[in-house]
Structures are given as structure tokens and as C-alpha cells.
Structure 1
Amino acid sequence: MRAVDLIEAKRDGRELSASEIRWLIGEYVAGRVPDYQMAAFLMAVYFRGMSEDETVALTRAMAESGERIDLSGIPGIKVDKHSTGGVGDTVTLVLVPLLAAAGLVVAKLSGRSLGHTGGTIDKFEAIPGLRTELSLDEIRAQAQAIGAVIADHTADLVPADRLLYELRDVTATVPSLPLIASSVLSKKLAGGADAIVLDVKCGDGAFMREEAAARQLAETLVRVGNKLGKKFSALITAMDEPLGTRAGNALEVVQAIEVLRGEGPADLREVTVALGAELLVLAGQVASPAVGRERLAGLISSGQAWALFRKLVAAQGGDVRAIEEPRRLPTAGQVVAVPAPASGYVTELRARPIGVACGLLGAGREVKGERVDPAAGVELLAKVGDEVEEGEPVARLHVGRPDRVAAARELVSGAYTIGVERPAPRPFILGRVAP
């Protein structure tokens, strides 16, 4: 078998067999297929696409390219969640302890900031002392002990995805449905969960900006995921404006604490509980999402979810005092107000400029491996539907890079549109895709 033959076959629209795809991925990870040939193959897939069977084979081959987390020896149903990324997306920090409090086991592998979107690992590490670089043995042991882990991806887990994503990023082949699906699902397959819920974001701050495209991705992920022998469902959630009222690392930890204590922004609470309810249905613990939402709301109001979060932080070496007293979390030395440009109602708050501003202020990375400032970010004092007065602050910048304040302030100010009439409420959950 030769790589050039498989490139030619895909270029000409032929469907590849599972063995051909497995060979290609294995040879690429081993370094025997060079980047230039894999780049040609990815471009052929971008233009020709892949059948569902090919996508299943590609996902399986990628998942088998490295180590896998074996959670089968742990009692209980193992679940997981994946988000396609957004701004202010604090869901994981709330959902993992909430699901563990419900009796499920969650070994969540998360990533760092990418582009204008934040990363769960950077957020969690804003808690002083907290470790996320755990070995597979540590992940398994903690999952068994308390039912909850939030850890960084290990280099040995799905190396094919890391290599292919880096190549896709520099060859303009990222927006390919089968390549997106295989990237997402291979990591979920290797993570050891029995049931997975997908949060497919849609809107200005999301990878998929149009609802039709988000639905197509959600449907593909659920179909292919279920063909791989796991239980999948998906929610399509709004990302035209940031989720919640804070974007940034320590700022989002504060937001997670608020929700776990029964407070916090309504949109973050609703999206988190809705995703958790899907997993309770997939796990067979409740008959419907409505019953699941009621049960999870009860775990928050009773304090059980908050108690589990404290256990999670302590298990990973974090300073529990910092979440009990959030003033102990990192804080910015400079906070700058952004005034409303006019009086009226906020009719639009674009998520993408807010995310870019967070990066400028120090919450994100401009080069690979750069350290983030845990205190940097944007605090939103007004969101869509709120009434504002000209000159009054609509946001606060928590500054980590003083030389970027002017640019960040311009971005945040420009993200707001003020009108004379209060807009109609918009739904946070745009759709559901179930098996």
C-alpha cells in the first residue's frame, strides 16, 4: 500500500476501506508518511468529503493511534461532554461536579485557549496550586475516588489528532465536516466514556456561525458517534453573545462558583443544566430531559454540587480557600471601565470581539506555549435586553497587558449595539439532536 495511491483515490472520489484508512493514519503517526503527502490527502478530503463509513473508520483509527483511558473497572456509568468552543463558556467547571453529585463518573479531558475562545484548563489552573497535568493512572484513580476529574490532554492520547490538527490549521483544511467529526469523536472514544453529550455552539463567537451548519455538524457527530458504539446526543446552543457575564480565567472560576452556589447568570445555568439532563437521559437515570433538569437543579440548591466541586479542587491540589473566598483568586492590578456609547437597550453584544479583547488583555495566547494571565479578562455589566445610560459602564476590562488596553477597550465598546427598543428574549437552546 502507498500513500500516493490513497491520495489519488480520494482525489478522484473513491471511497476508501477501513483498512486503507487505518494504514494511512498508522504510517503517518509513525513518521513514515510525510506531512506533504498527508496535507495532500487532507485537501482531497476537504474537496471530496468522506462517507459516513469512512468517517467512522478515520475516527476509530485516530482513537487507536495512542493510549486510551480504560474506565471499565470503575463502578457506575461514565459520561463526558464536548463543546465546540465559545466565549465565557464556563460550563465544564460547573457540569463536571454537578454530574458527579448525580452519581455519574466524569473523567473530562480539556484543552487550553485557542484563538478567541478560552480553554477550560487555563480557567481551572487559575485556582492556586491546582494541577491538571495528570497521568492516566492518576485520572483513573481520581475518577474512582470522587467521580470527577478535569485534566489536560496527555501527549500519548490520540496523537493522530494532535498531528492532523496542526497540519489542518496551516493548510486551510480545518472547516471539513468529516475532519471535524473525527477530531472531536476520536478524543471522546479514547476517553473511556459510555455516554457523551455535545454542545455545538452557533453564532458570532462560535466556529459554526449559521444554525443550519451547526445542526449539520451536530447530526453528523451524533450519527457517527453512535455507530462507534457509544451513546451520543447534542444540543445546539447560542453563542451570538458571550455565555454568562465574565470571560477570562479566574473571572470564569468566580462565575462557576456563583452557579454552583445557586446564583450566577441565567444563561449559563440553563445551558449547563440542559446538557447535564441529556447525559442523565443517555445514562438511563431519568426518562426525559425535563426530569433531568429538575434533578440537577435540586443538586445545586441542596449544596451537593458545590460540595463535590470542593472535593474536585482539593483532589487536584488546589487551594480550597480560594474558591470558598474568591477574593483569594488572582485579581488584576488595573480595571478599566468601558462606557455605554448611547442610552437605550442593548440589542446586540457580539461574542467574538469580547473573546479577542480577552486575549489582548492577557487571558489568551498569541504564540504557542505562552503563559496566560489568570486575572485578565472582560466583565460584562450589561447584556442583550438590558437598559443602559450613555457614559455609564457596560463592561470592565481586567488588565494583564497595559499596552493593549486601548485596543481591547475599542473592541469591547464596538461589540455593543444600543437601540431604542428592548429586543425580544432569545432562546439559549436552539435545537436538540438525539439518537
Structure 2
Amino acid sequence: MATDYGYDSGLGFSETVRRHRVPAGLRAPFEGRTWREFGYVLLSLPISIVMFTYAVTMISLGAGLLVTFLGIPVFAAGLAGCRGLGALERARARGLLGLEVGDPEPLGMRKPGFMAWIGAVLKSGTSWRTLLYSVVHLPWAIFSFAVAVNFWVYGWALLTYPLWFWVFPAYVGQDGLQLYGDETHHIYLNNPFEIGVTALVGLLFTLATPWIVRALTTVDRVMVHGLLGPTRLSARVVELESDRGVVVDTAAADLRRIERDLHDGAQARLVALAMDLGLAKEKLTEDPAAAARMVDEAHGEVKTALQELRDLARGIHPAVLTDRGLDAALSAVASRCTVPVQVEVDLPARPAPAIEGIAYFTVSELLQNISKHSRATFAAVDVWRVENRLMLQVVDNGVGGADVSSGSGLTGLAERLDAVDGILVVDSPVGGPTRVTAELPWRSERV
């Protein structure tokens, strides 16, 4: 079993397991990834020269003009140009290295105008990181270019030496490739043994070169990701904004569900009840027996409406969860499941109400999925705490096949958990069993 490489969203290429008859070490010199990385190293030198020259020229010019009013605009223009060159570098890394790095945060201009733009460029950390990249990447580009080209050229030249050694006696006037020479002694690689050893050394160089180039481009990946990509803080801000959108959408969906349940359930039943009581009132004097039957039916409708309202209130936030905590609330949910459920809750204290509510509704929805889709005969719920994380696990012996990426209810559940820095892991092979593990941040209940 060997590995083939494809693009992914991390620092480079992902490994896709595929069967190959040729080992990876022998395939590497001929793989597309190796040639793309070698091309990246070759292009790095001229591009880095341009970036370094531009950055040093513009920054030096701006610094020299600081005594006049032109210094600051020139300085800002230099930083803006570095940002543009950084965008080209990210695109080059995506195309040749498979490096999926996000764009950094845009300029934070609070108001339009040239002066506002200058201030935003000078205040942006991205501008200064791209300037740093433009300066420090040139020495590394020179080093990696020299190493990669020398290993590549010498490796292939020595490997193919048996094919072209005849050039020396035919056109150069010497017996072969000169290994050593002074005024009295000359050593040429011209006999079959020496030619074979030369080719073997070339083979070793050729096989080692792809891994050397890969190590060199790993440094480039780190530099592009660290200096030209978004910072951890900005990435976290984007993540939180996305999570906030998920929370808002989830809350809106819950409100629509509650409105729909009220409109189609209890509200419709109460309207029908009011009409029935109106008819019973009209018949009270004419046909007391019929009116009594109608009142009795209305009494049954009232009980049904009250039960629907209780179920709706339980779906919003059950009273047992507030009063007695997760153990009692999950036991109540398990009792309503269509399969026997064993509940084990081992918590030293109660978490914060928000986390407790999310844990409750996570288990509740998972048990509903078991009732509807799993065809299981047994399920188990375990809740415990590990350091600063609240762990939930729901297991059933059903048919399996559950998948978060299929767009089912598990997808929405995973998004809800992600909105509070939680994680949902589903292990559900076809044929079962299914094991769903949820992880939530532990936040203690405030007294």
C-alpha cells in the first residue's frame, strides 16, 4: 500500500491512500507534485528579487521623503504594493504547492477618502507582514534555488552519464568526465565500473532530490501561511461571526417552529373549542342533552390542548431540566424513546444553563433519530466531564449509516455545537452500531 497526494485545505497536500506497484521513493522523481514544487522553487528566485527590490526601494524612498509631505503617501503606496504582491504569492502557492491559505483581513477603513486609506494601510498588520515577507524571502529563495537546481542537475546528469560519456573522447579530447587532475595526474571516469558507479550515485541524487525539494517548500508553506495568511485572531473573528450567524439562524428556525406548532396545534384546537362551546351555549335551552355532550367533548379538547402546550413548553426548555438537572431530564427523554435506553450521568456539578440546555437538546434529537431511523433494540446515553469539556455519547445497535455530511439533522446539530466551540463525531458504519460523541465546553453554573 502506497500513498498518492492530492490537494487539501491545510499546509499542503493531503494523502489519499491508493495502491501502487512502484514504491513512493522510486515514483517521486516522476510525480506531478515533485515537478510543481521544483517549478515553485525556480520561480521563487526571480519573483523574490522583484519583491525585495520593490519593497526596499519604496520603503527607502518613503523614509527619505518623510521630511516632506510626500513621505507618508509613498510609504503607504509601498505597503499597498507589497499587499498586492502577497496576493500573487498566495495564488502561486495555491497553484503549485496546493496550499489553501485564506486571504487576510481587508483594510479597516472607517470612512472613505485618500487620507483614510493611507491610515488604514499603515495601521494594518497585514501590510507589515507582507513587507517582512518581501524582505526575508529573498535569502531563502536564493538558498533553496541553489540547493534544488544543483541536486536536480547533478543527479540527472550523473544518472544519464552512461548515455553521453562518449562526448568526451569524441569532441572534448579526453577519456571521460574528469574526477581529478593536476599537472602530473588525471583521473577520468571512463571504464565500465566507474561509469556504473557514477550512474548509481546519480540515481541516489535523483531519488533524494524530490524529498529535499519537498523539505525546502515546506519552509515556503510556513512562511506564506504565517506571513501572508490571516492571523489567528482574525480567523477566530471570522469563525465567531460565522457561529453567530448559525446561532441567529437556529434561533429564527426555532421561533418559526414554535409559531407553526402553536398555529397548527394548540391555537387551531382552541379555536375549534371556542366554536364548539358557542354551539353548546346556543343549544343549552333547546337541547340540554346535546349541549352536555358538546361540553363533554370540549372538555376532552381542553385536555388535549393542554397536553400539546406542555409538550411545546418541554421542547422549548423542560422544567425538569431547570429544577433537577441533566440526569433527571435525560431520563425523562429516554422514557419516551421507542427503544430501551440506559442513561448514565456522572457530573461533579451542574454546567451553565446554556451548556446544559444544548446538551439536553443534543441527546433529545439523537434519541429521536434512533426512534425514527435506526431500527435499534437498545440504546445507551453516557454523560461525563473530562477536564474543561462536557462529554456526551449516544450509542445504539441499529442499522447504522448515519452521516453528518449528508445534509440530515446531524448537520444542523453539528453546526449548533460548533457555534459554542463544540464538536460532534459520528461513527456509524453500515450495519451498525452507531456511536455519536459530542463535546461541549464546560462552564460552571453561576450561583
- TM class by shorter-chain length? under 0.3
Which one scores higher on RCO, CA 8 angstroms, separation ≥ 6?
Answer: 1
Structure showing greater radius of gyration is 2
**More helix by percentage:** 2
Please give the TM-score of this superposition, normalised by the length of structure 1. 0.20
